[in-house]
Amino acid sequence: MAEQKVALITGITGQDGSYLAEFLLKKGYIVHGLKRRSSMFNTDRIDHLYQDPHVENRNLILHFGDMTDSMNLTRIIQETQPDEIYNLAAMSHVAVSFETPEYVANADGTGTLRILEAVKLLGLTNKTRIYQASTSELYGKVQETPQSETTPFYPRSPYAVAKMYAYWITVNYREAYGMFACNGILFNHESPVRGETFVTRKITRAASKIALGLQDKLYLGNLDAKRDWGHAKDYVRMMWMILQADEPEDWVIATGQTTTVRDFVTMAFKHAGIELEFKGTGVDEKAYVVSCSNPDYQIKVGTNVVSVDPKYFRPTEVDLLLGDPTKAETKLGWNREYDLKTLVNDMMQSDLKLMTKDVYLQDGGYKTLSYFE
């Protein structure tokens, strides 16, 4: 029998880390994951994969660690001797990176160097393949549309600048030391477990709460921003394919379609049977309910459910992203199960279910409990 492959996933507790862990476990891998110590549980997304540490022959093993700690990363790589490292850990929120620029440079930029250097120092150059989570944010102020592997970069946030360092240090270690190190330049990808403050999940949660009468209004920033949104499930499969390729290369992963934030809002409410109409422009733009076909939802026609709050505008914005996945499709045979409509449906179904639980709790007399009452 072939030996089980060993993978190390940094960022295993995040959206992509959780889908990737599930995917690799199904493929028979032993999966090691880096998790941060936190004052509360932070493993919600992988709890369904959890294995009791007292059980022998576990194939999911978590290690405490941090991308800012070289010795910790080196020790974990030495102990686990991975065939594949998926470097997904990062402070991944673009808007927040303007508030914590130095930390982002350290965790997202230098953190990648720490992984590459540890593999080199430990003599694993010929054994360990490395996937680096690069991003369409590298294109920033876009120089051509659609964006492909050859489009020049112009990063527009501390996050994107840190990821640009991570991109080039990955290329450099590949060229200098012959490492199998690759960048996946992934465009936005979402899912029911997307972080709650990214725009898609913020919208699907709010649309569900508004439909169920748990919230009155949703405040957003730039409604004109256009993104190429795919489903995280399709994208983690491609991360694995990148490391199984014959040669180490960099790859654009995208759907080839772009949509405004405004249209995403319309689609999410539509899933709940609520038709919206946007009126006004700029900071005065608002969305109103035109009709509601679901008799369970007590929402009145004419209600203003979406408004703009300039506090969500970014100091420098990325206006338009649209990826060209031709190389991944033709060279690696990558294809997608989800399009935007099925992505929105998946997220809305999940959030409506989650929020319905809140309605039951509220109807049963339960409020959010305070520890201090």
Site string for ligand GDR, 258-277 (x = CB under 6 A): ---x----------------
Residue 32 touching ligand NDP (CB under 6 A): no
Residue 13 touching ligand NDP (CB under 6 A): yes
DSSP-based helix, strand, coil % in the chain, nearest 5: 40, 20, 40
Cβ atoms of residues 167 and 134 within 8 Å:
yes
Choose, by CB under 6 A, the member of 80, 87, 135, 259 that binds ligand GDR. 135
Distance CA 285, CA 187 (A): 27
Best CA proximity match to 204, nearest among 16, 346, 305: 346
Site string for ligand GDR, 91-130 (x = CB under 6 A): -x-xx-----------------------------------
Residue 192 touching ligand NDP (CB under 6 A): no
**CA angle in degrees (0–180, nearest 5) for 58-60-62:** 115
Cβ atoms of residues 272 and 208 within 8 Å:
yes
What is the number of other CB atoms lying within 10 angstroms of the CB of residue 346? 18
Binding partner of 259, given ligand NDP, ligand GDR, none, CB within 5-8 angstroms per partner class:
none
Q: Is 326 in the active site?
A: no
Binding partner of 91, given ligand NDP, ligand GDR, none, CB within 5-8 angstroms per partner class:
ligand NDP
Q: Give the largest CA-CA distance in the chain.
A: 66
Residue 97 or 350 having the CB closest to ligand GDR? 97
Distance CA 174, CA 152 (A): 20
* Binding region for ligand GDR (CB under 6 A): 92, 94-95, 135-137, 187-188, 197-199, 202, 220-222, 225, 227, 261, 312, 314, 317-318
* Binding region for ligand NDP (CB under 6 A): 10-11, 13-17, 34, 36, 38, 42, 66-68, 88-92, 107, 133, 135, 186, 188-189, 195
